[in-house]
C-alpha cells in the first residue's frame, strides 16, 4: 500500500473510517495530524475535523493542565462535544482518557 501522506510504499495502517481506503506509515500518520489510537486493535482515523462552530475565547485554559489552549481551531485543541464550552489539549485529554476513561471535567 502507498502512504497517503508521503506517497511511499509499505504503509500498513489503514483508516478505520467506513469507505476510506487510505493507508499510512505510523510516523506519517502522526505528521499528517491523523488520529491514531491503540485500543485492543489499532485504530486510525484520517484527518479528522471536529464540528465546532466557535473558537476558544482568549485566555481559555485546558481543564487538565491549566495551560492556555490556542485561540483558534487546531488539531491540538479539542472541545467537549457534550457541554460545548470545555476546552482541552488533545494530548492532555488522550492521556486522561487512557488512565481514567473519557469524561469531561466540566460536565
The 10s digit of each residue's pLDDT in 65-84 is 999 998 887 878 888 877 87
Q: pLDDT tens digits, residue range 14-53?
A: 887 788 888 888 888 878 878 766 554 444 444 455 666 6
- Co-location of 50 and 30 in the same domain: no
> pTM value?
0.56
Count of domains observed in the chain = 2
On whether both 51 and 32 belong to a single domain, the answer is no
Q: Does residue 50 sit in the same domain as residue 72?
A: yes
Q: Decide if pLDDT at 102 tops 70.
A: no
> In this structure, are 61 and 96 located in the same domain?
yes
- The reply to whether 26 and 51 lie within a common domain is no
Say if residue 4 is exposed, middle or buried (CB neighbours under 10 Å; 0-12, 13-18, 19+).
Answer: buried
> What residues make up the domain containing 15?
1-37
The alpha carbons of the chain give a radius of gyration, in whole angstroms, of 15
How far CA 66 is from CA of 17, 43, 69, 70, 78, in Å, comes to 32, 29, 9, 13, 14
Residues 82 and 51 in one domain: yes
What gap in Å lies between CA 3 and CA 46, rounded to an integer? 12
Residues 10 and 54 in one domain: no
Asked if 99 and 55 sit in the same domain, the reply is yes
Amino acid at each position: 500500500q502507498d502512504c497517503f501522506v508521503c506517497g511511499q510504499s509499505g504503509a500498513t495502517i489503514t483508516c478505520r473510517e467506513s469507505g476510506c481506503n487510505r493507508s499510512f506509515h505510523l510516523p506519517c500518520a502522526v505528521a499528517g495530524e491523523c488520529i491514531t489510537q491503540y485500543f485492543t486493535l489499532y485504530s486510525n482515523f484520517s484527518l479528522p475535523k471536529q464540528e465546532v462552530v466557535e473558537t476558544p475565547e482568549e485566555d481559555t485554559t485546558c481543564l487538565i493542565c491549566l495551560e492556555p489552549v490556542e485561540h483558534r481551531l487546531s488539531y491540538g485543541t479539542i472541545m467537549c462535544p457534550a457541554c460545548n464550552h470545555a476546552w482541552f489539549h488533545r494530548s492532555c485529554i488522550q492521556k486522561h482518557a487512557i488512565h481514567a476513561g473519557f469524561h469531561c471535567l466540566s460536565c
